[in-house]
Amino acid sequence: MSEEFFIQGNEACARGAIKAGCRFFAGYPITPSTEIAEDLSRLLPKNGGSFIQMEDEISAIGAIIGASWSGLKAMTSTSGPGFSLMQENLGYAQITETPLVIVNVQRGGPSTGQPTMAAQGDLMQVRWGSHGDYEPIALSPSSVQEFFDFTIEAFNLSEKYRVPVVLLADEVIGHMREKIVIDDNIETIKRTAPTEKGEDFLPYKALENGVSKMPAFGDGYKLSITGLTHDERGYPATSNPQDHQKLVKRLCNKILENRDEIARVKLEQWEDADVILISYGSSVRSVIEATFKAREEGIKVGYMKIDTPWPMPEKEVLEVSKIANDLIVVEMNLGQMVHEVERIAKNNANTHLIGKIGGELPNPDEILSKIKELV
Amino acid sequence: MRTEIRIAGFGGQGVILSGVIIGKAASLFDRINAVQTQSYGPEARGGASRAEVVISDETINYPKVQNPDILVAMSHEALIKYLDGLKENGILIVDPDMIVIDEIKDFVIKNNIRVYYARATAIATEEVGLKIVANIVMIGAITKFTDIVSYDATKDAILVSVPPGTKSKNITAFEAGYALSDDLVNLN
Amino acid sequence: MDSEINSKENPSLKYLRKDRLPHIFCGGCGNGIILNSFFKGMESAEMDFDNIAMVSGIGCSSRIPGYVKCDSLHTTHGRSLAFATGLKTGNPDLDVVVFTGDGDAAAIGGNHLIHAARRNINLTVICINNNIYGMTGGQISPTSPKGSFGSTAPYGAQDAPFKLAELVTAAGASYVARWTTVNPVQLSNAIKKGLKTDGFSFIEVISQCPTYFGRKNKLRTPVDMIRYFKDSTVVKRKADKMTDEELLGKIIIGEFANNNRGEFTKGICNLSIEECGKPTYKKSAYKL
């Protein structure tokens, strides 16, 4: 069985959260993400869940970390200014390996910037925003259906790898309405409690995939969870370099070593392409349109739609860089992903940027002109 | 084929809901593709407000309206603000009581625009007895004058979009709009 | 020999993670008195120790939960109440206790403090107020008395301090008390009441930091500080009849609030019952 709806991206995200098993939301109103909080304030009580409007975004992420350790799937949603405030606790979620989902419906920045206009200027903030070393997972939807699907995927990845996952959407996807199909049969990943009982359990001893089992508070494990560098028991271990290296390398490697499992891309018309367009999020819509227009004119253009900007799908980018002469990264900022593509492609292909700021989607005709300049 | 429609008026006229209903009619009931977007920010509260829908039997990639095939103007301010974007040979539907048609005569003739009148506000007030359903009257008119959405689909879309207690008033409004004459307005 | 030692074992030790001792607190620090008072209060409230979860932020006081053999969440600076709000709402069956300090709760976390009190969420907050930042080396805090010295106030603190118990009372907490480390009996009694209160409980404990506050303010030894507390405390009943001038430099001790106002997590749970016929889920992230 499935149902169809014609709804906004933000509404689709809220419904996806409920379907994914999210039963706790804490947040703070901010344009253009507010509809997610509004919808969940209505949906959660109808589904045995809790909704809290917090005093700011710092406490919003704090509350969902607490709720995650209580044994619930938890989420918050925000936009640039709120995402900036969340950075410290995002690092806390990384080092304590707390599964949760943060939705960032991007708007124009820096600062208050353009509250009602779309942007993709937070890509590198997701990567480097909190201090210290870590490897983020981020998903970028480019349709309302994907905002729903990726919300579920974000919860699944967060549970599988015990990490915070960022849903990096933008105002265009958040506010536009499209048809979505919601299937009754949706696969969700649930936590398995550790089989070992009691105080001897080591909550930070890695099992398969570098991930350890996640116990809940109140289950007799006498957990010691801290943002300090810690040992396998969870006890602070801050002065020995080896302890820190062991922990932080494991945290990074559990993402890096599973990159192929996590990273998702869609490649179209690339086999014979002279130019390959690379994009993510709502900009993908312009890129696909430009690809069609170019092909109609007989220009060999393909595109790569990156669904997981983090971890970067390095293998795929490298592969296409060996096929096309030119790679054009299309993004709504003054150049962020382009640096990653350049780094991966090296001298295999020339890397170019179409970086559009101001709030409007890149124009397919502008992309086409750039393509024509190159071929 | 891709058709772009822009519905504009002032805040409070329900232009966003009009766009949503057209989008639903196309995607959920006519089962073709539709994307609806709208302007946000200060201009959505009072001033000019607009909703846009792209309808196509093919996949819609670029979701935004660039040059509408159809412009629906429910206020003079909106008409003047958005007229320039209308395509040559495009369709313009206006509420004649809310605009000054003389001001756009040159544009209409020069660009071979097909103009239809829909006295949505007056019909909503006089025939339905509820001014706020002017947008639904306008949807009836859009359905009649253009072939972007079918009569049945639009009716179904209205029924699933309006509050339960207001269904019959809204259907009356829709029918009144659909009953309007589809004679082209001659500005020569 | 062993049994002799064991028989002299501190009665609190059974609640501690022995594998984490020795602790990091300085000699003469008030944290020990407060932790002992906590366990006494917990016992007299007949709480189930295994059901207690502790949450803390950053600072000396926030290191206490790490030594207690219970589930503990040692969070970021100032944010313990936000984390605790999620933990308690997610599983209202847990008895959630927050250890915090004057810098953690009143400076960086001041906003969370008043909002947690406003919500009246059932948390028991022990705020160890030593009027100084101990862990970072003796900087003044929002409760440092005007004119007191700190490493960032070499000429004496210029700004007026917060009165935490009064602040939290005004924000709407169900139970509020202030005692000092000189009043361990009253303190453990207040902790008992706080644990029993179905609402936000805030127990402010004026405590000594001889290492920094004492050294910088001519109260060099723990005994000097304890004597200072003894000389400066005034019970609330008496203080209510004194003028502001008479109260200058005094520490008002006693109960500031003890009422039964609607509790936050119960409201959330009731809303769920109204809207879907069942209470909020617990541990629904787990496979059955």
Ranges assigned E (strand) in chain C? 52-56, 71-74, 95-101, 124-129, 132-133, 139-140, 175-180, 201-206, 233-235, 251-258
- Residue A105 identity (one-letter amino acid): V
B158 touching A, CB under 8 A? no
User: Which tokens hold the place of C188?
Assistant: 């453990």
Low-confidence ranges of chain A (pLDDT < 50): none
Rounded Cα–Cα distance for residues C120 and C117 (Å)? 5
Burial label, C215 (beta-carbon count in 10 A; 0-12, 13-18, 19+): middle
Report B:13-32 residues touching A (Cβ under 8 A). Answer: 20, 23-24, 27-28
SS3 per residue for B113-158: CEEEECCHHHHHHHHHCCHHHHHHHHHHHHHHHCCCCCHHHHHHHH
A105 touching B, CB under 8 A? no
Secondary structure (3-state) at A137 = strand
Question: Could you tell me the domains of chain B?
Answer: 2-178 (3.40.920.10)
Rounded Cα–Cα distance for residues A118 and A109 (Å)? 10
A73 touching B, CB under 8 A? no
Rounded Cα–Cα distance for residues A320 and C8 (Å)? 73
Q: How many helices (H) and strands (E) does chain C have?
A: 11, 10
Nearest to C132 by CA among C122, C143, C121, C146: C143
Nearest to C258 by CA among C201, C179, C216: C201
Mean pLDDT, chain B, whole residue set: 94
For an interface test with B, which of A33, A179, A282 has the most B Cβ atoms less than 10 Å from its Cβ? A179
β partners of residue B185: none
- Kindly list the residues from chain C whose CB atom is less than 8 angstroms away from the CB atom of residue A218: 51, 53, 71, 91, 93-94
Using CA atoms, how far residue C231 sits from C211, C223, C226, in Å, is 20, 12, 9
pLDDT (0 to 100) of residue B49: 85
For an interface test with C, which of A52, A190, A229 has the most C Cβ atoms less than 10 Å from its Cβ? A52
Q: How many CB contacts within 8 angstroms connect chain A with chain C?
A: 184
A70 touching B, CB under 8 A? no
CA dihedral A292, A296, A298, A299 (to 10 degrees): -30
Helix (H) or strand (E) holding A83: helix A80-85
User: Which tokens hold the place of B87?
Assistant: 């395509």
Using CA atoms, how far residue A285 sits from A144, A170, A221, B5, in Å, is 12, 13, 49, 19
pLDDT range class, residue B42, cuts 50, 70, 90: low
The answer to whether the Cβ–Cβ distance between A176 and B34 falls below 8 Å is no
User: How far is residue A120 CA from its own chain's centroid?
Assistant: 12
Rounded Cα–Cα distance for residues A75 and A166 (Å)? 10
Secondary structure (3-state) at C109 = coil
Nearest to A164 by CA among A89, A230, A250, A232: A89
- Kindly list the residues from chain A whose CB atom is less than 8 angstroms away from the CB atom of residue B62: 285-286, 289, 361, 364
Low-confidence ranges of chain C (pLDDT < 50): 1
Nearest to A5 by CA among B34, C68, C103, C215: B34
Rounded to 5, what percent of chain B is helix, strand, coil? 50, 20, 30
Helix (H) or strand (E) holding B140: helix B134-145
DSSP 8-state class, residue B43? G
Question: Could you tell me the domains of chain C?
Answer: 23-262 (3.40.50.970)
Rounded Cα–Cα distance for residues B80 and B103 (Å)? 9
Report C:75-104 residues touching A (Cβ under 8 A). Answer: 75-76, 79, 81-91, 93-94
Rounded Cα–Cα distance for residues C121 and A267 (Å)? 51
Smallest CA–CA distance, residue C174 to chain A, in Å, is 20
CA–CA–CA angle A299, A300, A305 (5° rounding): 120
β partners of residue C98: C55, C125
Examine the pLDDT at B45 and tell me if it is beyond 80: no
- Long-range contacts of residues C44-48, Cβ cutoff 8 Å, at least 24 apart: C44/C188, C44/C189, C44/C192, C45/C191, C45/C192, C45/C193, C45/C195, C45/C196, C47/C95, C47/C195, C48/C95
C287 touching A, CB under 8 A? yes
pTM of the predicted structure, to 2 decimals: 0.97
pLDDT (0 to 100) of residue B108: 96
The answer to whether the Cβ–Cβ distance between C94 and A54 falls below 8 Å is no
Q: Over the stretch A266-291, which tens digit does the pLDDT of each residue have?
A: 999 999 999 999 999 999 999 999 99
- Kindly list the residues from chain B whose CB atom is less than 8 angstroms away from the CB atom of residue A181: none
Helix (H) or strand (E) holding B174: helix B167-178
User: How far is residue B41 CA from its own chain's centroid?
Assistant: 21
pLDDT (0 to 100) of residue B160: 97
B61 touching A, CB under 8 A? yes
Number of alpha carbons in the 13 Å side-chain half-sphere of residue A145: 11
Cβ atoms within 10 Å, residue A127: 19
Topology of the domain comprising A265-374: Rossmann fold (3.40.50)
Identical fold, A2-183 and A265-374: yes
- Is residue C206 within 8 A of residue C229, CB to CB? The reply is yes
User: How far is residue B50 CA from its own chain's centroid?
Assistant: 10
The answer to whether the Cβ–Cβ distance between A63 and C86 falls below 8 Å is yes
User: Which tokens hold the place of A13?
Assistant: 């995200």
Using CA atoms, how far residue C17 sits from A203, A233, C70, in Å, is 16, 12, 9
β partners of residue A8: A177
Smallest CA–CA distance, residue A189 to chain C, in Å, is 9
DSSP 8-state class, residue C275? H
**Closest in A6, A171, A286 to B27, CB measured:** A6
Secondary structure (3-state) at A238 = coil
**Helix axis angle, C80-90 relative to C264-276, nearest 10°?**
40
- Kindly list the residues from chain A whose CB atom is less than 8 angstroms away from the CB atom of residue B37: 172, 175-177
A6 touching B, CB under 8 A? yes
Smallest CA–CA distance, residue B100 to chain A, in Å, is 31
Chains with ≥3 Cβ pairs under 8 A against A?
B, C
CA–CA–CA angle A337, A341, A345 (5° rounding): 175
Q: Over the stretch A299-313, which tens digit does the pLDDT of each residue have?
A: 999 999 999 999 999
DSSP codes joined into one string, A74-106: EEEEE-HHHHHHTHHHHHHHHHHT--EEEEEEE
Rounded Cα–Cα distance for residues A227 and C83 (Å)? 13
The answer to whether the Cβ–Cβ distance between B62 and A364 falls below 8 Å is yes
Question: What is the CATH architecture assignment of A2-183?
Answer: 3-Layer(aba) Sandwich (3.40)
The answer to whether the Cβ–Cβ distance between A69 and C278 falls below 8 Å is no
**Closest in A68, A190, A222 to C71, CB measured:** A222
- Is residue A67 within 8 A of residue C86, CB to CB? The reply is yes
Tokens 């939807």 found at: A141
Residues whose CB is less than 8 angstroms from the CB of residue C185 and which lie 6 or more positions away in sequence, other chains included = none
B64 touching A, CB under 8 A? yes
Report A:19-58 residues touching C (Cβ under 8 A). Answer: 21, 23-24, 26, 45-52, 54-56, 58
- Kindly list the residues from chain C whose CB atom is less than 8 angstroms away from the CB atom of residue A49: 272, 280-281
- Is residue A33 within 8 A of residue A60, CB to CB? The reply is no
User: Which tokens hold the place of B159?
Assistant: 């029924």
User: How far is residue A190 CA from its own chain's centroid?
Assistant: 19
The answer to whether the Cβ–Cβ distance between B34 and A361 falls below 8 Å is no
**Domain boundary assignment for chain A:** 2-183, 198-259, 265-374
β partners of residue A167: A103, A139
What's the ipTM?
0.97
pLDDT (0 to 100) of residue B41: 60
User: Which tokens hold the place of B112?
Assistant: 């071979």
pLDDT (0 to 100) of residue C3: 52
pLDDT (0 to 100) of residue A198: 79
pLDDT (0 to 100) of residue C4: 52
- Residue C174 identity (one-letter amino acid): S
Helix (H) or strand (E) holding A344: helix A337-345
pLDDT (0 to 100) of residue C7: 66
CA–CA–CA angle A233, A237, A242 (5° rounding): 105
